[in-house]
Chains A and B, each alone.
Chain A
């Protein structure tokens, strides 16, 4: 903005530092605790003057963190693929046709977004048990996909609405049916918004706790959140090892975010502004 003059610049740095301190405090505390010996009773604000690696050894060996990371990766990647494909497909007619029927669909999709997951947990579990889908990859994948799809449809619809219909019409004149129009004309344009769909819904799949807790009961298929929560409940006498486990659990997503940051902001620009 133009009115940002030199005078304003002076208070900017201290303000930035205060904001960073407040927002970084929880992670700072976590870092300190993860590297501290359980016998160290100094304040949690004080970082250890040494590195206590055993916390991580305990987290890896007892907590099975690596298996958790592996399972979560498989589930999240599969979910993202389905969420992108099904979401973009459903968004296309929703963005293009402005009929009563589509209005109904739109309301329905929004409605799905608002169902509190736990209120349908037991009937859902019964359905999955009937389909032999508990403690399987596909079982949790379809459920997470179903609950993340509305978000993806929401974002894609906004984005497609902004693509000029002239393009579709041109394709239609060239003899393209809706399928070819979608795959050849629309899909290639969705790249920027897809980045934000991946991040927004992917993070929810990665961090899911409520569904995974009930649907994934076999110890071989535990996700990272489940691993950490069971580690907390079983080793809460060793808060430092628990902190190490939590740190290992959040590290992958934070690294991913830091490397994808730019795409994310770009996708957001396209999605929030209709």
Chain B
């Protein structure tokens, strides 16, 4: 293509870039500035304190806890969502009655706001009158206060996130599967390749682009998990179920450490950036190899 055309085409970026700069980049740089202050988040008076917030950040064991939780929310959701999503897709790729119903029921929760999903889930996990405890009582077991222990609550919320968003991976994989020509399998069957072999040598490699899309979408969603946590535990008991995102709000509004909150926010951004870049690169390479 001509060089001049290319330059004109670059004008197409302008509307999007303007929005990004005004409403994302500029506020973000302001966030960087705030991270060097001891601002309490509402007063007009504050002073610059250099790197104190960053030093504190690396010594703070509550933030470390939130970091570990974020990894569980992000990677835990991604791994299970993709395995389960692929399994659902393989299952639904075969024809049987009620297939479209199953697909719609799995996908439906994706449409529901996470916050509302969190409220609904509270009806299930509540200690007093919660639906899950009703089942436990029915089977003669003692009711359990499910969300009272940090690690267990983190796992439950990861599960809820999976249950809500597995539909995304499922649909992406379904699409991927339907794009694989039937004749590949026919040829493989004639050559005597068994089902597992077909899956390993035909399905999986040809699904690589779908896997890449699904993993990146799930990962960014899981690492930014916020609404469900706010609706179910608000980070409690103590700091035990915070993700980095909820920690940012908590430090800002309730802890009144706006400077420190900004520091955590910047770190969260850098972390998500690095992880997704590694993943995107990995899949790009995989796809090229094939």
Is the Cβ of A13 less than 8 Å from the Cβ of B96? yes
Is the Cβ of A1 less than 8 Å from the Cβ of B31? no
Taking chain A's interface residues, is the majority helix, strand, or loop, or is none over half, making it mixed? helix
- Chain A min CB distance to B271 (Å): 9
Is the Cβ of A122 less than 8 Å from the Cβ of B195? no
- Chain A min CB distance to B133 (Å): 10
Q: Which residues of A contact B124 (CB under 8 A)?
A: 25-26, 29, 44
Interface size class, chain B: 35 or more
* Contact A45 to B213, CB < 8 A, known contacts A122-B41, A257-B111, A269-B175: no
Taking chain B's interface residues, is the majority helix, strand, or loop, or is none over half, making it mixed? helix
Could you mark each residue 1-13 of chain B with 1 if its beta carbon is under 8 Å from any beta carbon of chain A, else 0?
1100110111011
Within 8 A of B (CB), among A1-58: 1-4, 8-9, 12-13, 15-16, 19-20, 22-27, 29-30, 33, 41, 43-45
- Whether B67 sits at the interface, judged by CB under 8 Å, is no
- Whether A217 sits at the interface, judged by CB under 8 Å, is no
- Whether A77 sits at the interface, judged by CB under 8 Å, is no
Query: In the bound complex, how far is the Cα of B207 from the Cα of A274, in angstroms?
Result: 11
Q: Which residues of A contact B104 (CB under 8 A)?
A: 257-258, 261
Query: In the bound complex, how far is the Cα of B173 from the Cα of A268, in angstroms?
Result: 9
- Chain B min CB distance to A252 (Å): 9
Is the Cβ of B27 less than 8 Å from the Cβ of A246? no
- Whether B157 sits at the interface, judged by CB under 8 Å, is no
- Chain A min CB distance to B246 (Å): 8
Q: Which residues of A contact B121 (CB under 8 A)?
A: 26
Within 8 A of A (CB), among B73-111: 88, 91, 93-94, 96-102, 104-111
What count of chain A residues pass the 8 Å CB interface test?
Answer: 102
Query: In the bound complex, how far is the Cα of B111 from the Cα of A256, in angstroms?
Result: 9
- Chain A min CB distance to B1 (Å): 7
For A97, give its contact among B9, B110, B120, B264 (CB under 8 Å).
Answer: B9
Query: In the bound complex, how far is the Cα of B110 from the Cα of A249, in angstroms?
Result: 14
- Whether A110 sits at the interface, judged by CB under 8 Å, is yes
Is the Cβ of B20 less than 8 Å from the Cβ of A112? yes
Query: In the bound complex, how far is the Cα of B22 from the Cα of A124, in angstroms?
Result: 9
- Name the residue of chain A whose CB is nearest to the CB of B129: A44
- Name the residue of chain A whose CB is nearest to the CB of B274: A114
- 8 A–B contacts, CB within 8 A, in A order: A12-B96, A16-B91, A19-B105, A29-B120, A118-B245, A122-B252, A242-B119, A249-B116
Ranked 5 nearest A-B pairs via Cβ: A119-B265, A123-B30, A207-B113, A123-B27, A269-B175
